Amino acid sequence: MQNASSDLDTVVMKFGGSSVAEPERIRHVAHRLVAARESGRRVVGTVSAMGEATDSLLELASRVSASPNARELDMLLSTGERVACALVAIAVHDLGHEAVSFTGSQAGILTDAVHTRAKIREITPVRVLRALDEEKIVLVAGFQGFSRETMDVTTLGRGSTDLTAVALAAALGASCEIYSDVPGVFTADPRIVPDARRLARVSYEEMLEMAASGARVLMLRAVELARAHGVPLLARSSFSDDPGTWVHHGEEMEQPIVSAVTHSDDIVLFRLREVPGRQGAAAAVFEALAAEHVTVDAVLQATARMAEVSFSIRQEDAAGARLAVERMRSELGPVALGELAELGSVSLVGAGMRSHPGVAAKMFRTLGEEDVEVRLVSTSPIKITVTVARRDVARAVRSVHAAFGLGEDAAVATAN
């Protein structure tokens, strides 16, 4: 990715859909952008579509067609961010500052040719840099790019304005601030755990695991890109002056054993039975899933003459998984499919877990005492994830959060 860093301090400020949901909020975003410019920084803003605009466009498309053409869907959905971007630029002008809005293609965001889930290949921010040199505030429509292969507009996937912001920051040698309706990254979802506390900082590694396991503050692909290019991220609220949470390379000598409990309530468990117990059978299963762009969370395989393979995925990937099963049957034979919905996941994340034994034992003991049945387990050096019934998710999150002393009261007691 091209890096066009400047001697001047540049910041990319991303604002989510709730931040620009109505005219008063758009004017508030404009004030934030102008304040950053008046502090002496070069400012690039990138915005999501207003409020529920993307959902409204998707609903409209579904009323026209049961299966909208992917290219035309990208053309349709990309308009939401363009509208919001232009409106913010208009509000900036009203505050006495020069602003210019760009589409993703005008900003030089070049992608592959995959519609609705495109990946950024390169950013050539020639027009963005020219506008910054002219001391303008630049607004870039998030969520979208342009494919040189097909000369078509593409979109990057739901929630990917975060990705647009980080990619621009990487290309410009800038820092990146992500503004949403939450004041940062918390030890758990405050809607479930009232005494969850805001974290002042987390490492890229921890944030990747948290985003992958249900934390919705930052998009997973955006964190991956930030880590790869060393872009410091600040997650904070559009509606308050709270300091937010910094995401960067971990610098503490001793990192917390556990930093957060995250969760998801949209898990589906697929069980494939009568899979031939031969070399290459598992590869065929997961190659078929990859071909349908299905991301697998956890896997369990029991091997015998006829193997059983279980894997968990997000609800949004269920249709693709079913197509993948049909694809693999042509190679593996009449594989039997079982599907279990109404599930969720609970994850314990902490960079210090890799050097502290006993974390898993404590987590399972806590869940057992709460009579929470664990269906599937997956681990990494800094994360333990369990799949449980959806009805048990909130209770499991609260009990694990309390067992590891992650709340405000515990933090105050430790400080004293």
Give the class (CATH, top level) of 10-181: alpha beta
How far is it, in rounded angstroms, from Cα 140 to Cα 122?
16
pLDDT greater than 50 at residue 7: no
The domain segmentation of the chain, as residue ranges, is 10-181, 260-415
Interstrand relation of 245-248 and 201-203 (parallel, antiparallel or unpaired):
parallel
pLDDT greater than 70 at residue 254: no
Q: What is the mean pLDDT of residues 307-323?
A: 87
pLDDT greater than 90 at residue 346: yes
pLDDT for res 127: 97
**Domain range 260-415, CATH architecture:** 2-Layer Sandwich (3.30)
Nearest to 124 by CA among 138, 108, 111: 108
pTM equals 0.84
- Residues 59-113 pLDDT 10s: 999 999 999 999 999 999 999 999 999 999 999 999 999 999 999 999 999 999 9
Q: What is the mean pLDDT of residues 188-214?
A: 92
Provide the 10 A C-beta neighbour count for residue 78: 24
Q: Tell me the average pLDDT of the chain.
A: 89
Q: What values do phi and psi take at 47, rounded to 5?
A: -130, 150
Q: SS3 string of the chain?
A: CCCCCCCCCEEEEEECHHHHCCHHHHHHHHHHHHHHHHCCCEEEEEECCCCCHHHHHHHHHHHHCCCCCHHHHHHHHHHHHHHHHHHHHHHHHHCCCCEEEECCCCCCEEECCCCCCCCEEEECCHHHHHHHHCCCEEEEECCEEEECCCCEEEECCCCCHHHHHHHHHHHHCCEEEEEECCCCCECCCCCCCCCCCECCEEEHHHHHHHHHCCCCCCCHHHHHHHHHHCCCEEEEECCCCCCCEEEECCCCCCCCCCCEEEEEEEEEEEEEEEEECCCCHHHHHHHHHHHCCCCEEEEEEECCCEEEEEEEEEHHHHHHHHHHHHHHHHHHCCCEEEEEEEEEEEEEECHHHHHCCCHHHHHHHHHHHCCCCCCEEEEECCEEEEEEEHHHHHHHHHHHHHHCCCCHHHHHHHHC
pLDDT for res 305: 55
Sheet arrangement for strand 306-314 = 296-302, 306-314, 260-276, 336-349, 383-389, 376-380
Q: What values do phi and psi take at 12, rounded to 5?
A: -105, 125
3 pLDDT band (50/70/90 cuts)? low
- Residues 234-247 pLDDT 10s: 999 999 889 999 99
Q: What is the mean pLDDT of residues 351-367?
A: 88
Phi-psi region of 40 (alpha: psi -120 to 50; beta: other; left: phi over 0): left
What number of CA atoms fall less than 13 Å from residue 106's CA on the CB side?
A: 14
